Structure 1
Amino acid sequence: METPIHKSTHRRSRTDGEATRSRIIDAAGQVFAERGYRDATSKEICARAGTNLAAVNYHFGSREGLYLAVVGEVMHHLLELDYLRQVAGSDNSAEEKLSELIEGLVHSLIEERSWHTRVWAREILTPSPLLPQITSHETMPRVEIVLPIITELTGLPADDPDRLYGLLGLISPCLMLILVDPDQPTPIQPIYSRPADEIADRIKRFVFAGLRSLAALPNDR
């Protein structure tokens, strides 16, 4: 039987380990956001995290494992799976479900502006060799939750390719908010100074109009 001293030591050890793991992920996220997967070095990550390579290997197994953990944190930050499942499983209408998802994502993108979005932007623009794993483990589980909501809203059957066009219309405006640097002089830069609620409202109008248009297409095409 463990003594209280042993239990306290084990709890402290777990807490210290979790803190180290979190610190490494945060430092790695910053470095990957600044330099991208290919140019980020374990040396710089360790320096920022105040740890050593042995700690990185202990917690993540490798640099690749660390990157996957960082991207997992990115996806958790932007669209957490349990939150998605909760919204999708609610008694709200399909439009209310998509509305809630868009609002949550837009607020996260506009108000926080953390390294998470920059890591994801780099992965989209210059994919790492780990993209197939990221797609399988992070992207597709979220798509599989959202697609039935689009089906419910449009009435399009699961084998109708227009359902994927609906997904494209949903993703595109949010993707632009991720990819465009709000500090750079681009045509849409002024949007980033607008209230997040306003931006979400305009995106919802765009998305729902597109989905209704798809739903209204003739069935004999």
Structure 2
Amino acid sequence: MKKKRTPRIAPLRRDAVETRTRLLSEAGHAFAEFGYDGVGLRDICKAAEVNLGAVKYYFGSKQELYREALIQPHIQLLQEESVPSFDGSTDPEGALLNWLNFALRTVLVRRREHPYLSRLFIREFANPSFAMEELIELVFKKVRHELVRIVMALKHKDQEDSQVAELANMVILLCVQQEVGRPVLERLAYPPPTKDQDVRALAERIHRFVLAGIKASA
């Protein structure tokens, strides 16, 4: 039986807010560098200059601290900029370009602006933890849902099937691997872009590539 999480109330006092923020920041950097199992609470609390009881007080447990570091910033990214919606009444090719630009901006620009989130995601992607399922449920499915609707329109299908699912997954990986594969791509002298205008140009190139692939799979 899944253990029910105890909801935590955000602190109101300025010093408490600063303490919680500092603890979360140090935890995020540590988890990104060493992984969930590679860092202890004592090390995190020492870096944040708080006592060990602060984790339980503000987050409840190490697991909840990790969840907060990984999942909440991703949710915030979607709150700050919603996934482009597709209702079937607009041009699906144009909708695909908008989706690609959104996805690439999120992974190559917006997520990298966060102090540790990009590195933490890459670690989670390579070695999924207990938090991966929730990350998929709360974040990835929302992003993928609109893409599936676009692919269905391009394939002239009224529901998702194995072919639509596979094509959507391929498109997602084309975007995600730009970030995950950055160390290799940089050494090959073709690093992924980090500026909005360059990301847009990359989105256009991937857009042509994907459309050609979808047509070839008909």
Offset from partner CA, 1:52-71 (integer Å, 9 cap, x none)? 33222222211111111122
AA of the residue aligned to 1:180: G
Residue 82 of structure 1, CA deviation: 6.9
Identify the residue that residue 62 of structure 2 maps to in structure 1: 63
TM-score by length of 1: 0.73
| 2:37 counterpart SS class | helix
Q: Do structure 1's residue 207 and structure 2's residue 213 form an aligned pair?
A: no
Offset from partner CA, 1:153-212 (integer Å, 9 cap, x none)? 33223242111112122111112122124488643x523368333322222222232233
Structure 1 residues not aligned, in runs of 5+: 1-11
AA of the residue aligned to 1:131: M
Q: Of the two, which has the highest radius of gyration?
A: 1
Residue 16 of structure 1, CA deviation: 4.4
Q: Which runs of 4+ in 1 moved over 6 A?
A: none
- Cα 1:192–1:160 change in 2 (3 A) is closer
Offset from partner CA, 1:108-149 (integer Å, 9 cap, x none)? 433463521211111111111333333333333433343223
Distance, in Å, in 2 between the alignment partners of 1:153 and 1:68 is 36
TM-score by length of 2: 0.74
- Cα 1:54–1:32 change in 2 (3 A) is same
- Cα 1:49–1:75 change in 2 (3 A) is same
Structure 2 residues not aligned, in runs of 5+: 1-10
Distance, in Å, in 2 between the alignment partners of 1:147 and 1:43 is 44
AA of the residue aligned to 2:22: R
- Cα 1:193–1:159 change in 2 (3 A) is closer
- Cα 1:193–1:170 change in 2 (3 A) is closer
Q: Do structure 1's residue 138 and structure 2's residue 136 form an aligned pair?
A: no
Within a 5 Å distance, the mapping from 1:89-108 to structure 2 comes to 92-108=90-106
Partners of 2:186 and 2:192 within 8 A in 1 = no
